[in-house]
């Protein structure tokens, strides 16, 4: 098997700073490692006792698509649960928690906007 090598005269030492918001969030997440258990318990309480029931009640009472939204809610809840229980890093746990919150808020806003009437 042949080995390929790249021969160039250019200096490739530039650093990529990335998106400022993502870098700030990653720095925040790294500083919260000592509170990982609190984020685990808090995320289960917030999603399981607020966002899941409120989303379902809003979708059901405002004649939204109940089954798809309930399925999406349960998948996002268990995604956060598995991310926290499997010992993933604090970044993955906080990203899944943030994604789940944004997903539930989006579902609530789409039902309130009346897209399904």
3-state secondary structure the chain: CCCCCCCCCCCCCCCCCCCHHHHHHHHHHHHCHHHHHHHHHHHHHHHHHHHHHHHHHHHHHCCCCHHHHHHHHHHHHHHHHHHHHCCCCHHHHHHHHHHHHHHHHHHHHHHHCCCCC
**Sign of the alpha-carbon dihedral angle for 17, 20, 21, 27:** positive
Q: What is the pLDDT of residue 77?
A: 92
What does the domain layout of the chain look like in residue ranges? 32-112
pLDDT digits (tens, 9 = 90+) for 20-73: 888 899 999 999 999 999 999 999 999 999 999 999 999 989 888 989 998 999
The reported pTM is 0.77
């Amino acid at each position: 098997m042949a080995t390929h090598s790249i021969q160039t005269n250019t200096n490739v030492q530039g650093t990529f700073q990335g998106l400022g918001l993502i870098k700030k969030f990653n720095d925040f997440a790294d500083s919260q490692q000592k509170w990982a258990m609190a984020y685990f318990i808090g995320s289960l309480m917030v999603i399981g006792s607020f966002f899941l029931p409120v989303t379902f009640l809003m979708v059901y009472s405002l004649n939204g698509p109940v089954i798809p939204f309930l399925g999406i809610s349960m998948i996002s809840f268990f995604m956060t649960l598995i991310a926290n229980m499997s010992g993933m890093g604090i970044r993955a746990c906080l990203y899944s928690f943030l994604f789940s919150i944004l997903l539930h808020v989006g579902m609530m806003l789409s039902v309130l906007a009346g897209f399904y009437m």
